[in-house]
Structure 1
Amino acid sequence: MQVIGTAGHVDHGKSSLINRLTGINPDRLKEEQDREMTIELGFAWITLPDGSEIGIVDVPGHRDFIENMLAGVGGIDAVLFVVAADEGVMPQTAEHLAIIDLLQIPAGVVALTKSDLIDDPDWFDLVEADLREILVGTVLEQAPIIRVSAKTGQGLDALVEALQEINKQHPHRPDLGRPRLPVDRVFTLPGFGTILTGTLVDGQLAVGDEVHILPSGVKGRIRGLQTHKQSEQKALPGGRTAVNVSGVSVDAIFRGDVLVHPGDYQVTKMIDVYCKILPDAETALKHNMEVKLFLGAAEVIARVRVLGAQECPPGGEAFLQLMLQKPLVALRGDRFILRRPSPPATIGGGQILDAHPARRHRRFNTERLENLAQLLMGTPEDIVLQTALKLGLSSPQNLVEHSGLEQEQAQQALNALIDQGVLIHFSEGRMVLPRVSFERVKQDIITRLQEYHQNYPLRAGMPRERLKSQMALNTRDFDGMLAHLSAAGILVESGADLWLSQHQINFTAEQKAQIEGLMKAFEAQPFTPPSYKYSREAVGEELLNSMLALGKLVRIGEDVLFLPQVVAEMRQAVISHIQNQGSITLAELRDQFDTSRKYAVAVLEYLDQTGVTVRRDDARVLTKHFAP
């Protein structure tokens, strides 16, 4: 289903033509009918000869209501460009054409209205020649020009045929599974409550759906849906849709708000864009200039940051960062218009390249300018890659959704990048990351671990949380990187510590002598060995921790250390004793190894903690895992 919008100078017969085509008067307000001039947006629809339907948005032509016009053309798929045969090209004809071209409306037809007023064929030829001249270089350059009359019906059949051809040739909006409906009208009806209308974009809505109104975040539920005054259980992308929302006051919704499913979209107050300035703009677009941004049905005051230049002259183009006065919903690829607030005039327009930039850019940052140029001119692979660079470690589905491309196109680009090795898989294919990002982060982790090993040569590894605190990664990305590097054999992760796989603790001759002396003391009294406190004083805390990390000693209590083979011997002795006798007491263990109560307690508590034994009254028995 296509939505077609009118455009053209005031009093050139847009509303009359729509009324004649559809039987619906789009001028719904009494003031509009009294003045015979469209002020607000009007809506109609027509069933074409092939049975398909198209919605029609009728917009004001008067320059005083140009901003109302912008709220209507943001969601259209094609344009019905109206020029009166008796007047020809007029000021708003040119301005509306400039807006249509900036928005890159992909299709259209030119209706030369009021043709019944002209008898001179040469006049028609002159008007059409003027039209062709202003259409050159615009999206309507190849559009058919059809002479019509709303009064007599002349040319209406040919116009309908042209509209039908547009509907066939241009694909309908894709269903990306994330509906958004920019609100262009909100009102109440007795017995129904709050109703909002707009053109549904990107997905489907169904009766009963929970919805949010952004940017406010107001929550509601869909009570009813209508398309062209027909009740529907489901609304499809691209259609003019009226939504009856329960749980939301009409005072809480405004034109420019967006109705969405919960969690599908985030609002933004900063966007990176590509902008073309109209050749006949009255002034250059200057850095820090205040403008009005028109996006979808929204109108927001913005502050301009010109990137890579001091200003953008009439006829020029530039990358901008727009700082928004209030948040709105935006996606990469959305088209927009910029206007000067006072005196009001259209300055230019373009497309959003990044709807959620990570930061306020330095204006002459060459790398960012190159990234924006790639987003503007790149292939689908370039766009997916740039999206991946921004997201970091991401699921393939999330990457496809954020690319702004159609799902099949984005998936093909994603697969190509993976095949080329530009993107690499993590977590058994559940996550992807650009190789350039992976290599940068990998080298950062390696460098930090190398520095740690150099500064603390006697430590086995760096505390995991210490490394994480130094990295500009969220928990998901950090965990994914460590898992990948560990699987690749680059680092070792054990408990709370990390170390490079090639890292070894190397002792000096003096340190080796200290270690040898302490080990002899442990070997001389294996079941009543030196305490932790004594050992620390003998060799130093750093050296003792190294011995523990290398497994030369085992700490089983606050002040109790044993040789690892002694712990193994006592553990097996306890297991054998319980298997033969049914249990073991503290006194029995103490007597069996001729040790003191301090060491016997530490051994039994260690075996409890490691799941070998469990205390029962004054004795220990084996856990189910070790029971015969």
Structure 2
Amino acid sequence: MAQIVIGTAGHIDHGKTSLVKSLTGTETDSLNEEKKRGMTIDLGFAYLNNTITIIDVPGHEKFIKNMTAGAANIHYGLIVVAADDGIMPQTVEHLNILNILGIKGVWVAITKIDIVKDNEWIDLIELEINEYLLRYNFEIFSCNRINNLSGQGVNKLKNSIMSFATDKEMDKPLQYFRMNVDRSFIKKGFGTIVTGTVAHGKAKIGDSIEVLPNSIHTKIRGIQTHGRDTQLISKGDRAAVNLLNVKLNELYRGIVISTPRAIKNTKQIIAKITMINETNWVLKNQQRLRLHFGTDEVLARVTIKNQKKFKKGDNGNIIFTLESKIPVCLEDKFVIRSYSPMNTIAGGTVLITDVNSYYDNLIDEIPMNPKDRFIFLLESNWEEPISSKRWQKIFLTNHYKIEEWCKEFKIQRSASDILFTSKNVQKGKQKTISFLKKFHSKNSLRIGCSLETISSSIGWHQDFLKIVLNGLIEEKKIEMVNDFYSIFSSNKEPLTKLQTEQIKYTENFIKKSGLTPVEMNAIQKTKKYKPSQLLEVINFLKFKDKIEDLGNNFFIHKNYFIILLDSLKKYFDHSIELTISDFKALSGLTRKTAIPLLEFLDKKEYTIRKDNIRIVGKNLND
């Protein structure tokens, strides 16, 4: 049977704390100031049984921050309305907060029925409550009339809650553990302890844990749930977690404990917001606001791109720039309150956590539905494709859900599991063609670009780039020669007159030298080349297989090199060994020019050196 956490909601002095005590026997007002003032200031915690926790939240408007922290860790609401008052301002604000945080089901307790003797009046109060809750689409599990002094109606409410909890099963937990912390303290003999409700995943004793936003890495030393030791906690469990070697001042309400590296800190988000119907606040660009994420509060500035202001009932996508980094996930719901005076004005759902300028003109197009947003993000961030495993982390979902979306949208994947769409590939092809055209216009004599050059220049994952390049080769838009990619020959710009002259001059200069290796500097001295121009001409001749590069900036013409190889073949037909003197006689070269050429022949395995002689190499007869 799953654990459930219920949070009270209602106006100050409507009897929330008294009702919790009637249900559980626990006095949740534990602070001296709370007892002295007769009001709840901070969160109180009580257990109805081994699987049901009730969080008592403050009703006074000054302590809404604490109420929101408590509401972030609940599954259902217990709406408390006094029969003599009916629905009051803080009742409405609490209902809005529950609605914003995605709470769907509630129990209703109409308290102080001992003060109101008129049953028809109580009937009207109940009708008003039901009508109000229906506006928010809350499911009402039961509506109960309560006298906290005599206990009238308490057992009926208690039985309703326990019966519901018996049948309730939590959704299958996600892979990544996450818990919003609402309390921290030191227990003698154990150390630092944090409490909260598990939002996602599972954790057990001995697991490594990251404390965010401060990125403190620790381990779970012990776990309790409902006052009992346990080895494992999972989604929905109310838990106290003993952390190893962490100081108390590093653990406070608002932090998150999670699977290491599963959740990233961020300072900017895009969110879908909805202004509540009861607010008179007008949300304008660059206003400073209070955002309540989980049990934390963070100040932020709002950027509204395509709409000047938001009024009651309005909704849309906007950017929040946070004043401090916090751990945020997609789909996180949060409460938006005005900076001063502090009123709840809207609710939000996180759509994007990695915000960049690309979204500036697309902000209104970002879908609310996670599945549609997945394909939107996949196609929007096409230049930075990521693996399905990374998508699981971004959406805090499992492998099966991502695979389901991939199948529906016909997503393609690389050998290393990088995901992309046909639109991504098409955009990649267009950018690659544009890049290569610019490259050739600036380097018209160069063969093309290596995979590494294109990848570093464009900044894509090589797996994705290879798919794009192979597609362009199949379409005969580009070609690959000697591991270099270039625009298909028929689509290239013709050489200029100057380039043609430089190529002809350089080839003839090398050709005239016969088998004597020509140094690059020698060419440059005879004709006023820029070094970069000569290098391009040399590379062009190498690509066209007109010259042979001997290394160290020495070259011979290909025709003479072929003649030399033919001469060597004939020589080895009747001789086993080749001395330096033999090679000098064969080639007509001096020792100074023969040695570099012999070393090149050794390197290419046309010959094999043994002491001061050469024998035939494996490549000579190929």
Same fold per superposition (TM over 0.5): yes
User: C-alpha displacement at 1:94, in angstroms?
Assistant: 1.5
1:337 and 1:514 map into 2 onto residues whose CA distance is: 71
**Which of 145, 148, 157 is 2:146 aligned to?**
148
Q: Which residue of 2 aligns with 1:547?
A: 541
Q: 1:424 to 1:588 in 2, by over 3 A?
A: same
> Matches of residues 278-293 of structure 1 in structure 2 within 5 Å?
278-293=276-291
Question: Which of 348-357 and 322-331 deviates more?
Answer: 348-357
**Which of 321, 324, 329 is 1:323 aligned to?**
321
2:57 and 2:570 map into 1 onto residues whose CA distance is: 91
2:478–2:485: 8 Å Cα contact kept in structure 1? yes
Letter in 1 for 2:23: L
Specify the SS of the correspondent of 1:279. coil
- Please list every run of 5 or more consecutive structure 2 residues that lacks an aligned counterpart in the other structure: none
User: C-alpha displacement at 1:69, in angstroms?
Assistant: 0.4
Q: Which residue of 1 aligns with 2:253?
A: 255
Letter in 2 for 1:232: T
2:563 and 2:222 map into 1 onto residues whose CA distance is: 76
1:383–1:403: 8 Å Cα contact kept in structure 2? no
Task: Give the alignment's TM-score, normalised by structure 2.
Answer: 0.86
1:384–1:414: 8 Å Cα contact kept in structure 2? no
**Which of 219, 222, 228 is 1:221 aligned to?**
219
> Matches of residues 305-316 of structure 1 in structure 2 within 5 Å?
305-316=303-314
**Which of 570, 587, 593 is 1:593 aligned to?**
587
Letter in 2 for 1:315: G
1:299 and 1:360 map into 2 onto residues whose CA distance is: 28
User: C-alpha displacement at 1:251, in angstroms?
Assistant: 0.9
Q: 1:282 to 1:151 in 2, by over 3 A?
A: same
User: C-alpha displacement at 1:342, in angstroms?
Assistant: 2.3
2:446–2:539: 8 Å Cα contact kept in structure 1? yes
Q: Which residue of 2 aligns with 1:121?
A: 119
Letter in 1 for 2:24: T
Letter in 1 for 2:429: K
> Matches of residues 134-533 of structure 1 in structure 2 within 5 Å?
134-140=132-138, 142-164=140-162, 166-167=164-165, 172-359=170-357, 362=360, 365=361, 367-371=362-366, 375-376=367-368, 378=369, 380-391=370-381, 392-404=384-396, 408-418=400-410, 423-425=411-413, 427-428=414-415, 430-462=417-449, 467-468=454-455, 470-471=457-458, 473=459, 477-488=460-471, 489=473, 490-492=477-479, 497-502=484-489, 526-528=514-516, 530-533=518-521
Specify the SS of the correspondent of 2:349. strand
Task: Give the alignment's TM-score, normalised by structure 1.
Answer: 0.85
2:147 and 2:571 map into 1 onto residues whose CA distance is: 107
Q: Can you list the C-alpha shifts for 1:76-115, whole angstroms capped at 9, x where unaligned?
A: 2211112233432222111111211222212222122344
Q: 1:327 to 1:447 in 2, by over 3 A?
A: same
User: C-alpha displacement at 1:604, in angstroms?
Assistant: 3.9
1:310 and 1:64 map into 2 onto residues whose CA distance is: 30
Q: Can you list the C-alpha shifts for 1:25-72, whole angstroms capped at 9, x where unaligned?
A: 333334334444322112233338xxxx23322211122211100111
Alignment coverage as a number of residue pairs? 605
2:302 and 2:317 map into 1 onto residues whose CA distance is: 10
User: C-alpha displacement at 1:455, in angstroms?
Assistant: 4.3
2:47 and 2:580 map into 1 onto residues whose CA distance is: 91
Specify the SS of the correspondent of 1:385. helix
Letter in 2 for 1:41: L
Q: 1:231 to 1:614 in 2, by over 3 A?
A: farther
Specify the SS of the correspondent of 1:43. strand
Q: Percent identity?
A: 29
- Please list every run of 5 or more consecutive structure 1 residues that lacks an aligned counterpart in the other structure: none
User: C-alpha displacement at 1:126, in angstroms?
Assistant: 1.6
Specify the SS of the correspondent of 2:466. helix
2:358 and 2:437 map into 1 onto residues whose CA distance is: 33
Q: 1:442 to 1:97 in 2, by over 3 A?
A: same
User: C-alpha displacement at 1:179, in angstroms?
Assistant: 1.4
Specify the SS of the correspondent of 1:47. coil
Specify the SS of the correspondent of 1:314. coil
User: C-alpha displacement at 1:514, in angstroms?
Assistant: 7.5
Q: Which residue of 2 aligns with 1:556?
A: 550
2:222–2:243: 8 Å Cα contact kept in structure 1? yes
Q: 1:246 to 1:574 in 2, by over 3 A?
A: farther
User: C-alpha displacement at 1:190, in angstroms?
Assistant: 1.4
2:582 and 2:57 map into 1 onto residues whose CA distance is: 96
2:208–2:260: 8 Å Cα contact kept in structure 1? yes
Q: Does 1:20 align with 2:22?
A: yes
Specify the SS of the correspondent of 1:394. coil
Specify the SS of the correspondent of 2:39. coil
Specify the SS of the correspondent of 1:457. coil
1:572 and 1:171 map into 2 onto residues whose CA distance is: 84
User: C-alpha displacement at 1:238, in angstroms?
Assistant: 1.9
2:164 and 2:225 map into 1 onto residues whose CA distance is: 21
1:195–1:242: 8 Å Cα contact kept in structure 2? yes
Q: Does 1:105 align with 2:103?
A: yes
Q: Which residue of 1 aligns with 2:13?
A: 11
1:580 and 1:17 map into 2 onto residues whose CA distance is: 111
2:168 and 2:569 map into 1 onto residues whose CA distance is: 79
Q: 1:528 to 1:296 in 2, by over 3 A?
A: same
1:176–1:401: 8 Å Cα contact kept in structure 2? no
2:515–2:587: 8 Å Cα contact kept in structure 1? yes
Question: Which of 399-408 and 571-580 deviates more?
Answer: 571-580
Question: Which of 197-206 and 405-414 deviates more?
Answer: 405-414
Specify the SS of the correspondent of 1:112. strand
Letter in 2 for 1:550: K
Specify the SS of the correspondent of 2:68. helix
Q: Can you list the C-alpha shifts for 1:197-241, whole angstroms capped at 9, x where unaligned?
A: 112222222222222221122222221122222222222122112
Q: 1:433 to 1:37 in 2, by over 3 A?
A: same
Q: 1:43 to 1:620 in 2, by over 3 A?
A: farther
Specify the SS of the correspondent of 2:393. helix
Q: Which residue of 2 aligns with 1:62?
A: 60
1:228 and 1:31 map into 2 onto residues whose CA distance is: 26
Specify the SS of the correspondent of 1:393. coil
Q: 1:263 to 1:152 in 2, by over 3 A?
A: same
1:113–1:149: 8 Å Cα contact kept in structure 2? yes
2:463 and 2:449 map into 1 onto residues whose CA distance is: 18
Q: 1:360 to 1:560 in 2, by over 3 A?
A: closer
Q: 1:300 to 1:612 in 2, by over 3 A?
A: farther
Question: Which of 595-604 and 106-115 deviates more?
Answer: 595-604
2:292–2:335: 8 Å Cα contact kept in structure 1? yes
1:200–1:240: 8 Å Cα contact kept in structure 2? yes
User: C-alpha displacement at 1:352, in angstroms?
Assistant: 1.3
Q: Which residue of 1 aligns with 2:39?
A: 37
- Please give the root-mean-square deviation of Cα atoms over the aligned residues, in Å: 3.6
